[in-house]
Chains A and B, each alone.
Chain A
């Protein structure tokens, strides 16, 4: 939705000036994507609703901190929602069950023959496939579900030291592969 991307910086600028209507519009155009992200990490609807609420209250309070040279509006919003969801997750006693295997999500998404898959996602998938299986899974478990290193180690049945040591090397490879 190119129009949306054009709109967002302007909506953010107005939100930062305290324009509630702009903030309402910002919510309107971004909340479905952000709620999807919150649901993915929280795993429970009522918690995801709380996360979305907290995130947008934080966005209202921090809108003036947003600086367009520091990334797109959507990326900034996703970062806030993900961190809210992760904070929430860290303090829950029970963790969401039944996460799909992260690689399944990615491969099945790309394999559906969809025509709207971005070049960026294709490139990312290609570069992720060049990594060893364990660090690749670790990256996806962290980003998609907000798992900690300890949880990743438990999930992959490897010592946490292995996760720590392999993760950064893999991220460097990923960075090189993506050409940046």
Chain B
């Protein structure tokens, strides 16, 4: 896309700042943004124009456990993932590589807090920043289907390879796991 076309940069920057860009388009735009000082200046302009609206929002102190969780996740020695939970982890595991605030979004069909913790640990070990949430009930097992389709190994994103590698370390694996479907 030619971001230098008159107005296109402005329009896209405004969409980006207003939050109207779908996640994939936003990722593409952010890649473009990283390499274009002029586009970045346009984005900065729109951001600063709307920023005063945030003054109307009341500050709210987050609970202390939020910082503790952040601190744990950025720590130099992330907690080792607990093996026993990987078999649980793969059951009903749904993932998409949709653009996230972080590098990857992972949905699980369970909202078990322990499972989510394990996924965070997994993401940390894989050296990625992941967003983990419960899958909407209506969402099919996209991740499972993708993996069953057999995406060639070298084309799998690094985090997925890491996840599969870690899963293979976790014994025993239960049936119905994507790692066994190849």
* B residues in contact with A178, CB < 8 Å: 49
* B residues in contact with A106, CB < 8 Å: 53, 56
Nearest neighbor of A20 in chain B, beta-carbon distance? B74
* B residues in contact with A99, CB < 8 Å: none
- Flag A6-27 by CB within 8 Å of B: 1 or 0 each: 0000000000000010011001
Which listed segment binds A: B65-73, B83-91, B145-153, B174-182? B65-73
Nearest-neighbour CB distance to chain B for A171, whole angstroms, equals: 5
Contact B61 A35 (CB under 8 A): yes
Complex A-B: 16 CB contacts under 8 Å: A31-B67, A33-B59, A35-B62, A55-B101, A70-B44, A72-B48, A75-B48, A82-B19, A83-B26, A87-B98, A92-B136, A118-B52, A143-B17, A143-B53, A148-B20, A175-B49
Nearest-neighbour CB distance to chain A for B20, whole angstroms, equals: 6
Contact B19 A60 (CB under 8 A): no
* A residues in contact with B99, CB < 8 Å: 87
Q: Flag whether B77 is at the interface (Cβ < 8 A).
A: no
Contact B17 A50 (CB under 8 A): no
Q: Which of A49, A52, A71, A83 has a CB less than 8 Å from the CB of B44?
A: A71
Nearest-neighbour CB distance to chain A for B10, whole angstroms, equals: 8
- Flag B41-56 by CB within 8 Å of A: 1 or 0 each: 1011101111111111
Q: Flag whether B11 is at the interface (Cβ < 8 A).
A: yes
* A residues in contact with B154, CB < 8 Å: none
How far apart sit A91 and B67, CA to CA, in the bound complex (Å)? Answer: 24
Contact B66 A121 (CB under 8 A): no
Instruction: Given A78-B51, A87-B131, A88-B131, answer yes or no on A27-B56 (Cβ-Cβ < 8 Å).
Output: no
Chain B stretch 12-67: residues in CB contact (< 8 A) with chain A: 14, 17-20, 23, 26, 34, 37, 40-41, 43-45, 47-63, 65-67
* B residues in contact with A91, CB < 8 Å: 105, 107, 133, 136
Chain A stretch 65-81: residues in CB contact (< 8 A) with chain B: 65, 67, 69-72, 74-76, 78-81
Contact B63 A49 (CB under 8 A): yes
* A residues in contact with B10, CB < 8 Å: 175
Instruction: Given A71-B48, A124-B49, answer yes or no on A87-B23 (Cβ-Cβ < 8 Å).
Output: yes
* B residues in contact with A74, CB < 8 Å: 51
* B residues in contact with A49, CB < 8 Å: 62-63, 65-66
Contact A65 B61 (CB under 8 A): no
- Flag B87-129 by CB within 8 Å of A: 1 or 0 each: 0000000000011111101010000000000000000000001
Contact A52 B40 (CB under 8 A): no
Q: Which of B26, B55, B58, B63 has a CB less than 8 Å from the CB of A117?
A: B55
